[in-house]
Structure 1
Amino acid sequence: MDEPTPPDAAEEPEQQPLAHVWIIAAEIKVEERIAKVADFRGSFTTDVGTRVDALEVYCRNCRRPYEDVAENDCEALIDNRHLIGGDQSQRAKRKVPEPPPAARLLPGGVIQRRGIGSYISGVSRPAR
C-alpha cells in the first residue's frame, strides 16, 4: 500500500502567532444595481481600476489601528482583555439610575407576542 505523501512546506504558509493580520475598512462608490446585489449576497465584484478609499487600517486579531501597533507583535493571543473592556473581575458594576422622588411606576399594557394577534398588531413586523 502506498502511504499518502505529506504536503510540501511551500504549499502551506507558515503561521506566525504574533503576526498581525491587516485588514482595511473601505468605502467604494457603486451604482444602484451593484448595491442591490451586494446587499443581497453580501459581496460584489469591482471593475478593474476602481479606486478604493481606505477608511481605517487595523489588525483583524487584536483590533488595533495600524499606526498604533505596526512595529509591535500582535497581542491578541497574549492578552485580549482590551477587547472586552479590561479584567471583568475588577470592573465596577453598572449603576441602576434611581427615579426622581416624585416619579411613579405605572404598569404597562399586555403585549401579544405570539399568534396572529401579534402579527396584526405589528410586533413581528415593523410599522410603515
Structure 2
Amino acid sequence: MPPPAPPPPEPEPLIDLSHTWVVAAEIQVDPRVAGIADFRGSFRAAEGQRVDALEVYCKGCRRPYDDVRTGACEEKMDNRHLIGGDQSIRKKRKIPPPPRGVRIVPGERIQRRGISAYMAGVSRPR
C-alpha cells in the first residue's frame, strides 16, 4: 500500500492593495466648538451638518483621488515614494546661495544632548 499523498500547499493569502480614502474637510463651527476642537484635536459635528470636501486622497500613499483611483495603493507595495524615491540614486538638494552683500557668521555651538541641554531648554518646549 503506497504512503498517503502530502496535502496540497495552502495558497498564499491575497494582499489587499486597495486605497484607504480620506477627505480633507472644512466645517463651520461656533466659537465654543472651535475651542473644544483646538484643545482636544477633535469634536462632534451636528447631525445633518453639511461638510465641504476640500480634497479627497489616499491616506496611505497621499495621492489625489483623480490620479490613483483605478490603480493599487503604492504605500502597500513599497513606500519609497514617500521619502522622495530611492535614496541611493536621488540627487542631493541644492543649497541656495546667500544674497549679495551678506556674510554668514557662524554661531556658538549648541549642546543638544545631556543634562545641560535639558537645563538650557533645548529639549523641552517652552
> Shorter-chain TM-score: what band?
0.5 to 0.7
Where 2:82 maps in the other structure, the secondary structure is: helix
CA RMSD of aligned residues (A): 3.0
Q: Please state if 1:24 is matched with 2:19.
A: no
Give deviations 1:49-88, integer Å, cap 9, x for gaps: 1000000001111111111111111121212222111111
Q: For residues 1-128 of structure 1, what are the structure 2 equivalents within 5 Å?
A: 17-97=16-96, 104-106=103-105, 108=107, 125=126
Gaps of 5+ in 2: 1-13, 111-116
Q: Structure 1 CA distance, aligned partners of 2:45 and 2:51?
A: 10
Give deviations 1:26-70, integer Å, cap 9, x for gaps: 000101110000000111011111000000001111111111111
Gaps of 5+ in 1: 1-14
Partner of 1:10: none
Distance 1:31 1:79, change over 3 A: same
Identical positions, percent: 57
Distance 1:77 1:37, change over 3 A: same
Distance 1:103 1:46, change over 3 A: closer
Q: Compute the TM-score of the two structures, normalised by the length of structure 2.
A: 0.66
Q: Structure 2 CA distance, aligned partners of 1:71 and 1:110?
A: 52
Where 1:89 maps in the other structure, the secondary structure is: coil
Q: 1:92 deviation in Å?
A: 1.9
Distance 1:61 1:107, change over 3 A: closer
Q: 1:103 deviation in Å?
A: 5.0
Show structure 1 runs of 4+ deviating over 6 A. none
Paired residue total: 104
Q: Compute the TM-score of the two structures, normalised by the length of structure 1.
A: 0.65
My pick for the range that moved more, 101-110 or 80-89, is 101-110
Give deviations 1:84-123, integer Å, cap 9, x for gaps: 1111111222334555786544455799x776xx79xxxx
